[in-house]
């Protein structure tokens, strides 16, 4: 009897007397999928929402507020961001949500696809049936003129195949000249290049302005030349993409 009692006590001491309590499942990567908001889809609304979040010591988002983006899309993005867990510890960060509609590609308007492209970029794509038409035009929050702007992919980021997004807060004077460019997220090897690029831009305005712009660095070009090593594309008025060819290895002797 004593031997059996001792054995039970030993098993309990090492945690084998009873199964461990099941832990609640965690979403992979600390994010939660977001379906395209029904009211926004009905209105054919698209755009980019930037959400600033605050995290606690356990890296869970405790506060979230929209800094920019269409009003009809902001509530869903903010509610979704509050469910995320980030990987950079306590502090503040930004999450970018890009909502887009693939027009006349399917017959079911009720479904959408959520993709977490980067740790701080989520892409929500909805499908639109034939006859729905194009989405309504949305005025640019910060109408940029980027023709002639520097377009060099940062060399260290290119060699290390680093991709990602930088969220910039820009200020202008009445002539449209950029007077201040500040990065709202930490993006090593990309942040300084984005700021340098932004300082070459101009804004179509007659009064001082302040706004948010998202800048994406991507290595996805199929064909590059020495004359055109990169391509700068306006995805939306406040979302720009700098594309370059992926890094290649020369095996020639």
Q: Is the pLDDT of residue 115 over 90?
A: yes
- Cβ neighbour number for residue 229 with a 10 Å cutoff: 14
**Residue 228 has what pLDDT?**
73
Measured CA to CA, the distance from residue 111 to residue 128 in angstroms comes to 9
239-245, strands of its sheet edge to edge: 178-183, 164-172, 210-221, 239-245, 230-236
Single out the residue of 63, 57, 66, 68 nearest to residue 82, CA to CA: 63
Q: Is the pLDDT of residue 23 over 60?
A: no
Is the pLDDT higher at 104 or at 149? Answer: 149
Question: Do 193 and 132 form a contact (C-beta atoms < 8 A)?
Answer: no
Question: Do 84 and 116 form a contact (C-beta atoms < 8 A)?
Answer: no
Residue ranges of the alpha helices (H) in 112-249? 155-159, 191-198
Mean pLDDT of 52-78: 94
What value does the mean pLDDT of the chain take?
81
Measured CA to CA, the distance from residue 194 to residue 216 in angstroms comes to 9
Mean pLDDT of 44-54: 94
- Our measurement of the distance from residue 216's CA atom to the centroid of its chain's CA atoms, rounded to an integer in Å, reads 9
**Residue 138 has what pLDDT?**
64
Range in 7-16, 83-92, 232-241 the model is least confident about: 7-16
Question: Do 41 and 126 form a contact (C-beta atoms < 8 A)?
Answer: yes
Q: Is the pLDDT of residue 34 over 80?
A: yes
Read off the pTM. Answer: 0.81
Q: Is the pLDDT of residue 8 over 70?
A: no
Confidence class of residue 248 from pLDDT cuts 50, 70 and 90? low
**Residue 106 has what pLDDT?**
64
**Residue 131 has what pLDDT?**
61
**Residue 236 has what pLDDT?**
85
**Residue 74 has what pLDDT?**
97
Dihedral (CA of 240, 219, 78, 235) sign = positive
Mean pLDDT of 174-202: 92
């Amino acid at each position: 009897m004593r031997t059996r009692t001792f054995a039970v006590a030993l098993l309990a001491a090492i945690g084998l007397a009873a199964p461990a309590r099941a832990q609640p499942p965690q979403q992979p990567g600390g994010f939660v999928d977001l379906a395209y908001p029904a009211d926004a889809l009905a209105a054919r609304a698209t755009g980019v929402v930037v959400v600033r979040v605050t995290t606690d010591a356990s890296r869970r988002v405790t506060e979230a507020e929209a800094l920019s983006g269409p009003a009809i899309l902001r509530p869903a993005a903010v509610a979704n961001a509050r469910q995320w867990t980030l990987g950079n510890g306590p502090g503040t960060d930004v999450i970018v949500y890009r909502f887009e509609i693939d027009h006349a590609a399917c017959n079911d308007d009720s479904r959408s696809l959520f993709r977490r492209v980067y740790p701080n970029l989520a892409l929500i794509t909805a499908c639109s049936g034939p006859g729905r038409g194009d989405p309504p035009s949305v005025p640019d929050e910060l109408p940029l003129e980027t023709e002639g702007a520097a377009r060099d992919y940062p060399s260290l980021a290119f060699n290390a195949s680093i991709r990602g997004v930088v969220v910039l807060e820009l200020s202008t004077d009445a002539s449209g000249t950029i007077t201040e460019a500040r990065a709202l997220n930490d993006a090593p090897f990309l942040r300084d290049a984005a700021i340098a690029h932004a300082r070459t831009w101009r804004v179509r305005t007659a009064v001082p302005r302040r706004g948010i712009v998202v800048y994406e660095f991507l290595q996805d070009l199929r064909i590059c030349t020495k004359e055109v090593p990169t391509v700068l594309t306006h995805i939306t008025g406040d979302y720009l993409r700098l594309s370059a060819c992926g890094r290649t290895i020369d095996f020639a002797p």
